[in-house]
Amino acid sequence: MDKAREDSVREFHEVFGLTVGADPTVELLQLRRSLIDEETKELFSDIDAAIAHLKMGEAVPRELYANMLKELADVQVVISGTAVALKPLKELEEAFRRVHDSNMSKLGEDGKPLYREDGKVLKGPNYSEPDLSDLVP
């Protein structure tokens, strides 16, 4: 069985002497924010490049998709790293499961999704907000 993402990232943090399960500090929160921002900007740059190719009627190069995949993984690593580093956020896997369950409750009365004009899924009448309060100290 594969390790959970946070287990893999925890292993990385331990091997490289990075923070694991710490109480938040200004410095630690600033670092985690900076890492997420940096990796997200790199992903957005690749997405923008793919959009430019498509707008010109060109195929997106395979290499660009490969790099986008790498940047997506990097974003996941820094997000999981934030959960690993900060004790109050250690339950990311369970939080994800609950948010997924909540998202699945967004269907309309007819059991079909409701969409915003740009394609975003909207909350239906039976939407149930996830309760994550028991996951943080």
Number of domains, the chain: 2
Indicate whether 121 belongs to any domain.
yes
Q: Which two tokens stand for residue 28?
A: 């630690």
Q: Which of 121, 2, 1, 3 is nearest to 84 (CA)?
A: 3
83 and 39 in one domain? yes
The CATH number covering residue 57 comes to 1.10.3420.10
pLDDT in 10s for each residue of the chain, 137 residues = 456 899 999 999 999 999 999 999 999 999 999 999 999 999 999 999 999 999 999 999 999 999 999 999 999 999 999 999 999 999 999 999 999 999 999 999 999 999 999 999 999 999 999 999 999 99
CA 115 → CA 34, 75, 76, 92, distances in Å? 32, 26, 26, 27
Query: What pLDDT does residue 94 have?
Result: 93
Q: For the CA atoms of 10, 15, 21, 27, what is the dihedral angle to 10 degrees?
A: -110
Nearest Cα to Cα of residue 68 among 88, 83, 54, 81: 54
Q: Are 117 and 80 in the same domain? A: no
Structure confidence at residue 4 (pLDDT):
85
pLDDT attached to residue 2: 58
Parent domain of 37? 1-90
Domain membership of residue 135 (yes or no) is no
